[in-house]
A = this chain, B = another copy of it.
């Protein structure tokens, strides 16, 4: 995949429900803010603080992550659905 996210953004591949079930996580359809699971494919250069310092992101390519459903922007590339997200929209990493 050939997308380089800017700054504090990441690009993630959305994981379908079969893949989620294997990891033992079920995301209820009735949750008020339904999260999605994805795999991080690329991360931006980091967040620039007001003192000029660049803070690298906490997530890295390969991480399986949870993010809020109404965050980010969908992009379709060669039939696959991707999300471009700010790191702040990522709730947690699911270590494997």
Specify which chain B residues have a CB less than 8 angstroms from the CB of A55 in the assembled complex.
48, 52
A75 in the interface, Cβ–Cβ < 8 Å? yes
Tally of contact residues, A, Cβ under 8 A: 46
CA distance A70 to B87 in the complex (A): 21
Q: Of A51, A91, A93, which is in contact with the most chain B CB atoms at under 10 Å from its CB?
A: A91
Specify which chain B residues have a CB less than 8 angstroms from the CB of A53 in the assembled complex.
51-52
Contact (Cβ within 8 A) A27 B78: no
A68 in the interface, Cβ–Cβ < 8 Å? yes
Nearest-neighbour CB distance to chain B for A74, whole angstroms, equals 4
Specify which chain B residues have a CB less than 8 angstroms from the CB of A49 in the assembled complex.
48, 50-52
A73-B68 CB under 8 A given contacts A3-B94, A51-B52, A92-B84: yes
Chain A residues within CB distance 8 Å of chain B: 2-7, 9, 11, 24-28, 31-33, 35, 45, 47-53, 55, 58-59, 66, 68, 70, 73-78, 84, 87-88, 90-95
